[in-house]
Amino acid sequence: MTTETAAQFSITFTRYIDADGHPTGALPEFAARAADLIPLYRAMVLTRAFDAKAVALQRTGRLGTFASSLGQEAVGIGAASAMAPGDVLLPSFREQSAQLWRGVTPLELLLYWGGDERGSDFAGPREDFPISVPVAAHAPHAAGVALAFALRKEKRASLCILGDGATSKGDFYEAINMAGPWRLPMVMLVNNNQWAISVPRSAQTAAATLAQKAIAAGIPGEQVDGNDVVAVRDAVARALARAREGGGATLVEAITYRLSDHTTADDARRYRDDAAVTASWHGEPIARLRAYLVAQGAWSREDEEHALADAATAVDEATESYLATPPQPLAAIFDHLFAELPPSIRAQRAQALGQEAPDA
Amino acid sequence: MTTETAAQFSITFTRYIDADGHPTGALPEFAARAADLIPLYRAMVLTRAFDAKAVALQRTGRLGTFASSLGQEAVGIGAASAMAPGDVLLPSFREQSAQLWRGVTPLELLLYWGGDERGSDFAGPREDFPISVPVAAHAPHAAGVALAFALRKEKRASLCILGDGATSKGDFYEAINMAGPWRLPMVMLVNNNQWAISVPRSAQTAAATLAQKAIAAGIPGEQVDGNDVVAVRDAVARALARAREGGGATLVEAITYRLSDHTTADDARRYRDDAAVTASWHGEPIARLRAYLVAQGAWSREDEEHALADAATAVDEATESYLATPPQPLAAIFDHLFAELPPSIRAQRAQALGQEAPDA
Amino acid sequence: MPEIALVEAINLALARAMTEDASVLVLGEDVGRDGGVFRATDGLLTRFGPERVLDTPLAEAAIAGISVGLAAQRFRPVAEIQFMGFAYSTIDQMLNQAARLRTRTRGRLSCPMVLRMPAGGGVHAPEHHSESGEACFTNIPGLRVVYPSSPRRAYGLLLAAIRDPDPVVFLEPTRLYRAAREDVADDGVALPLDRCFTLREGSDITLIGWGAIVRDMLAAADRLAAEGKQAEVIDVATLVPLDSASILASVARTGRCVICHEAPLTAGFGAEIAAQLAGPGLLSLLAPVERVTGWDTVMPLPRLEMQYIPGVERILAAARRSLQHG
Amino acid sequence: MPEIALVEAINLALARAMTEDASVLVLGEDVGRDGGVFRATDGLLTRFGPERVLDTPLAEAAIAGISVGLAAQRFRPVAEIQFMGFAYSTIDQMLNQAARLRTRTRGRLSCPMVLRMPAGGGVHAPEHHSESGEACFTNIPGLRVVYPSSPRRAYGLLLAAIRDPDPVVFLEPTRLYRAAREDVADDGVALPLDRCFTLREGSDITLIGWGAIVRDMLAAADRLAAEGKQAEVIDVATLVPLDSASILASVARTGRCVICHEAPLTAGFGAEIAAQLAGPGLLSLLAPVERVTGWDTVMPLPRLEMQYIPGVERILAAARRSLQHG
Ligand SMILES: Cc1ncc(C[n+]2csc(CCOP(=O)(O)OP(=O)(O)O)c2C)c(N)n1
Ligand SMILES: Cc1ncc(C[n+]2csc(CCOP(=O)(O)OP(=O)(O)O)c2C)c(N)n1
Ligand SMILES: [Mg+2]
Ligand SMILES: [Mg+2]
């Protein structure tokens, strides 16, 4: 018998700022001065304020089911802050942090979660995809967008964010596999918050890391501390840069924890211990970065108060506008279906609007 | 920054008998005496004779489109010979070698490829699945069969065989991923014949090996020389044994080459060089094992003539029976649809058989 | 005989089937500890253990696919898809595999599985959670499609679906999961899978439909009665195979028919019923067949969904139109 | 103006569309060097290069999914699925994604893609290669479904489908790929996507269908003419959105109608046409609407397939039944 090694792989895990806010070594260029991290911090604070408000609105019957990103803010902010404006974001339903950074407004988010399609007609990032509620369905879209960039020889990349549960779906694998031979400028970011509703990460797959799923596609994969916004941004920035330069796709697994219920429709106490959740508050991304900034002398109690107040104002203003926004007219159901409405559906539209006797 | 290694993997490639028929070292137990390999040799010869006949029948309009396994006989024979009778085979459309070993008759195979469902009503391996024409669709069935064994605590395993192209399909990934956490007694055997119709292995995925796709599922994966029936059987036997003992699933990649056209409907000269094909004849599994057996003094020219004659007889007899088999009556279209035909379809059946005036 | 909600009736039927037949398994996303996002499988894990109630990874195609493998091995898997919006990736397995295994092997292997899922809108759920995609499953020979609209029918039909030796797609009206309540005897009695249910008899017009809208049909029938017109109300319940005989017989008596469903009009399953009326039923018709359905548009997000979902008023308008005809 | 086969007309339309619009891409399994298993994309790789003609890995769901991404980025992908039997795993992407992108974003993003595939049986192909699954795509708002039955219509409708700003599922009758031949001018003129085609006028009965069976309808019309009955023959061509006006107008003239398709009867798309006749068309009908379709069984393997696929004799029998009525 001859047995030889055909291939070898390893997966790394990276962190820059530990759970207590201590740097584990030199920080990357973009974080060289602690002050440079303040926008990231403020964005995480805004996200948390937004999430809290959205949950409150849902509890009082003024918003639909909502998926909080409590404790996971660093994933989206780290990733989005690594993007260039011309890159395209394809978010799952729990990445409001990334969307807010990209310029989607809190009002748009509220409209969407309040059940109004206008919330996906972003005034800001016009090419970004709407939220993907179907798990992993947006992964091949990210490959398609990346293929468009590659074909046009544009130095742009697509960034797809999805969950640990999403890595079990065929769409996810098919998309990263296609990205391989075509060297697509795509970054697949797995927000591993340890849970897919009630199914823990360990029941989702026997893979020791989710990053290693990249190996199946022949693309690089790495793990980062997803509660460390610096580590997330650094890994995603490197991956995006390589993608834009023709170096192909990367899978980044960001390890975090879902501190909230799955959504407002969920009661996580049915399936997980409060104790584990409580323990996971240690090292959560906002407290962690605040500790770092404070230790660096870049953040004061006053700064904190301002940040909280600014976030509250932004969210309150958005809420007011949201609550004051009348629903779309019924015609809107029809008017965006096709570029031009076919005659048969024109007739239905008229019927729906009561302008004409129905005939079906 | 701290970067640590989160996980490491390596993929091995194994061969026992090289392209010229020389052993590369000690052979495994089951092949300790060269004579023990004669049944495998004869089965490969039978397969090749069957394939040649089937192609000839197709060319003369007496069989439907057919997928030859020319040059790949060791994959199916190696795998099937590693199975216990109680294991279940889930073959793709190019694994007649494995099916023949399992006891599917040449007549059944001809009936199937001749367009008669009775060809999938195997008299022999009653629990084996019919051929899967849809690529990779049988992968989750293999997981389901394995789950059945696990739940019943039976020491049995399922063996799914599919192609290199199949490793791009979501079904494949979803199935091996599910096998992981449940430690399913399943072996996923990838027959990597380098081509998916006209698409070469290199365009199918950027993965350096197909075996490494196992890493995504957290199950063991390994590569073997798929033209070395000993290596295939050895790897599959080890994997099956581990599976039956509760050790979970394994992915085995067998590297071979499709010496034939994709099917009788294909003309491979449109997309690949004859030169590459000619070169790939070197090391093909039958000549290779013959060289080994001859060198071991276990095989003579006379043995060869007998083997060829026996194969020809078996195939000719099957062909005669096949050609003499009348088609099923039209009623057969209806009679296996449900355990009991619902009234509405009973009416259609009667209509089809002309027993009653139609009414739809 | 306690009054229970439709989702509880589902739960009861699952437990009953699991009790009486050890080969019945429940699997799907979050069906175990969580008891399913609608609690349809609540308590089953505790009662029957993790070898009978399996939380799967998040992969619908494989949920269907492993069910085919389990069923071929004589288990009776009852797989849950969390919402119909996520069931479309199972169609390949249901159509090419589950529905054909018996035919392909001339009966050597078979596929006694049930694929359950909530369907339809009206609960202000997020995007992709309010689908009525039954038509994607109704042109698939070898598959049964069942869609009960009351707790009792949910109980009896689910038992029948699980006991049936062939694959069944079982749709449950999300809107009625909690809203529909009824006395249900847990007597293990299945209802027939090839029969419509006449919920109310009437001689002036037939209202036919399935799923949540059946309640609106009943309400419309009340209103019509107040106007002096007796509507017969039929819950189709089993779409495929369709109980054409009962439907044709009803319309033969009434001469008028309104077909109601939440799914879009064009090529919705209502078309099949109307087509049978245009064919063998033609001579019964005193008025054009009316279809009251969702519009041929994408199901809107919650703010407009109740204007999309047809309700009592649209059914009444159609019925009156029909009654006024000729 | 050379006489060419239907598959060559497809090829011509693809080349024309790629020539006139640099955003048109062709992608799919084996569409490149091999030119597609039916040669529909033959020569395109040489002519337009590997950046316009992309051989994909073997993954239909992703072929549809990356097309959505490309289309959102203003490309016009024309994706080939090798056989309809392998298209079912694209339904999720087509229904939940392609058909909705414009609606979901209020027009900010759109999805001008075409998903082409051969459909139907009759060429003695292997298992799963002879499907008529169009009904799986016809109850999906936001999607067009087109199914030409002659080289000229294939050419003109494919051009229209590619130029259309919204997603189109484009079905090509396998049986006619080589069998249907016709003069086709490569003039770049598209045919309308919202119109049926009346192939033959007649006042006694209307034969309506799509795909390969249209040829049998024409043959049946010849035979009926020999019996002194003039059949109007309509190729529906675009199933969704349906040109109901033309169909209703024809039946208003003839009073009799036979609807023909290869797909199974129950909830086949023929039901929609029959339903419209039972509704707005009712007063035109002089005889029950006939449907001549595949049986409600799994498409058999080749030895029995021609007994499954309805042909001239069954159409004739239905037409005669209709003509004798009343
Ligand atoms: C295809 C699909 N199946 C099921 C669901 C229902 N569902 C919504 S979120 C979710 C869990 C997702 O887990 P994960 O991918 O880890 O993301 P997370 O919710 O943790 O952010 C499920 C099962 C869905 N949205 N899409
Ligand atoms: C899902 C699916 N897509 C497409 C096809 C058409 N097709 C048949 S075989 C084949 C290539 C398969 O390649 P591979 O998996 O390597 O198996 P091989 O033919 O080489 O044995 C394709 C594309 C199919 N049968 N099933
Ligand atoms: Mg998660
Ligand atoms: Mg291959």
Beta bridge partners of A4: B13
Residue nearest to atom 13 of ligand 1 (CA): A196
Task: Summarize the confidence of residues A178-188 as an average pLDDT.
Answer: 98
User: In residues, how long is chain A?
Assistant: 360
- Residue A360 has a pLDDT of 41
| DSSP, residue by residue, B287-355 | HHHHHHHHHTT---HHHHHHHHHHHHHHHHHHHHHHHHPPPPPTTHHHHTTSSS--HHHHHHHHHHTTS
For chain C, what percent of residues have pLDDT higher than 70? 100
Distance CA C234, CA D234 (A): 35
Tens of pLDDT, residues C282-303: 999 999 999 999 999 999 999 9
CB contact under 8 A, A359 and D245: no
Whether D269 has its CB under 8 Å from any CB of chain A: the answer is no
Of A151, A93, A142, the C-alpha closest to A251 is A142
Tens of pLDDT, residues C146-160: 999 999 999 999 999
CB contact under 8 A, D105 and A130: yes
Task: Judge whether residue A359 has pLDDT over 90.
Answer: no
CB contact under 8 A, C241 and B126: no
Q: What CATH topology corresponds to D3-183?
A: Rossmann fold (3.40.50)
* Structure confidence at residue B355 as a pLDDT band (50, 70, 90): low
Chain A nearest CA to B275, separation (Å): 24
One-letter amino acid at A219 equals I
Ligand 2 interacting residues, C-beta cut-off 6 A: B 94, 133-135, 162-166, 193, 195-197, 258, 262; D 29, 58, 60, 82, 86
CB contact under 8 A, B345 and D297: yes
Ligand 1 interacting residues, C-beta cut-off 6 A: A 94, 133-135, 162-166, 191, 193, 195-197, 258, 262; C 29, 58, 60, 82, 86
- Residue B358 has a pLDDT of 41
Q: Where are the domains of chain C?
A: 3-183, 197-324
* Structure confidence at residue A358 as a pLDDT band (50, 70, 90): very low
Q: Which helix (H) or strand (E) holds C157?
A: helix C151-163
Question: Using H for helix, E for strand and C for coil, what is the string for chain D?
Answer: CCEEEHHHHHHHHHHHHHHHCCCEEEEECCCCCCCCCCCCCCCHHHHHCCCCEEECCCCHHHHHHHHHHHHHCCCEEEEECCCHHHCHHHHHHHHHHHHHHHHHCCCCCCCCCEEEEEECCCCCCCCCCCCCCCHHHHCCCCCEEECCCCHHHHHHHHHHHHHCCCCEEEEEEHHHCCCCEEECCCCCCCCCCCCCEEEECCCCEEEEECCCHHHHHHHHHHHHHHCCCCEEEEECCEEECCCHHHHHHHHHHHCCEEEEEEEECCCCCHHHHHHHHHCCCHHHCCCCCEEEEECCCCCCCHHHHHHHCCCHHHHHHHHHHHHHCC
Distance CA D319, CA D290 (A): 8
β-pairing, B195-196 vs B186-192, is unpaired
List all residues 6 or more positions away from A57 whose beta carbon is below 8 Å from its beta carbon: A63, A66, A110, A114, A319
Tens of pLDDT, residues B279-289: 999 999 999 99
Of the candidates B65, B133, B197, which has its C-beta nearest D30's C-beta? B197
Beta bridge partners of C264: C294
Residue nearest to atom 12 of ligand 1 (CA): A196
For chain A, what percent of residues have pLDDT higher than 90? 97
Chains near D with 3+ CB pairs less than 8 A apart are A, B, C
Residue A41 among the catalytic residues? no
* Structure confidence at residue A355 as a pLDDT band (50, 70, 90): low
Exposed, middle or buried, B103 (CB in 10 Å: 0-12/13-18/19+)? middle
One-letter amino acid at B74 equals A
Task: Summarize the confidence of residues C192-220 as an average pLDDT.
Answer: 97
Tens of pLDDT, residues C94-120: 999 999 999 999 999 999 999 999 999
Chain D nearest CA to A135, separation (Å): 12
Chains near C with 3+ CB pairs less than 8 A apart are A, B, D
Are D3-183 and D197-324 in the same CATH fold? yes
CB–CB contacts below 8 A, A to C: 113
Tens of pLDDT, residues C39-88: 999 999 999 999 999 999 999 999 999 999 999 999 999 999 999 999 99
Task: Summarize the confidence of residues A72-95 as an average pLDDT.
Answer: 98
CB contact under 8 A, B149 and C73: yes
- Residue D326 has a pLDDT of 79
Tens of pLDDT, residues A10-27: 999 999 999 999 999 999
Task: Judge whether residue C144 has pLDDT over 50.
Answer: yes
Q: Where are the domains of chain B?
A: 28-328, 330-360
- DSSP H helices, B210-272, are 213-217, 229-244
pTM: 0.98
Chain C nearest CA to B98, separation (Å): 18
Candidate from B92, B135, B253, B255 with most ligand 2 atoms within 8 A of CB, to mutate: B135
| DSSP, residue by residue, C194-207 | T--EEEE--SSEEE
Task: Summarize the confidence of residues B142-171 as an average pLDDT.
Answer: 98
The phi and psi torsions of A58 (rounded to 5 degrees) equal: -65, -45
Q: What CATH topology corresponds to C197-324?
A: Rossmann fold (3.40.50)
Mean pLDDT by 10 residues, chain D (326 residues): 93 98 98 97 98 98 98 98 98 98 98 98 95 96 98 98 98 98 97 97 98 98 98 98 98 98 98 98 98 97 96 97 94
Task: Judge whether residue A357 has pLDDT over 70.
Answer: no
Task: Judge whether residue C326 has pLDDT over 90.
Answer: no
The phi and psi torsions of A252 (rounded to 5 degrees) equal: -120, 125
Whether B175 has its CB under 8 Å from any CB of chain C: the answer is yes
Task: Summarize the confidence of residues B133-157 as an average pLDDT.
Answer: 98
* Structure confidence at residue A289 as a pLDDT band (50, 70, 90): very high
CATH class of B28-328: alpha beta
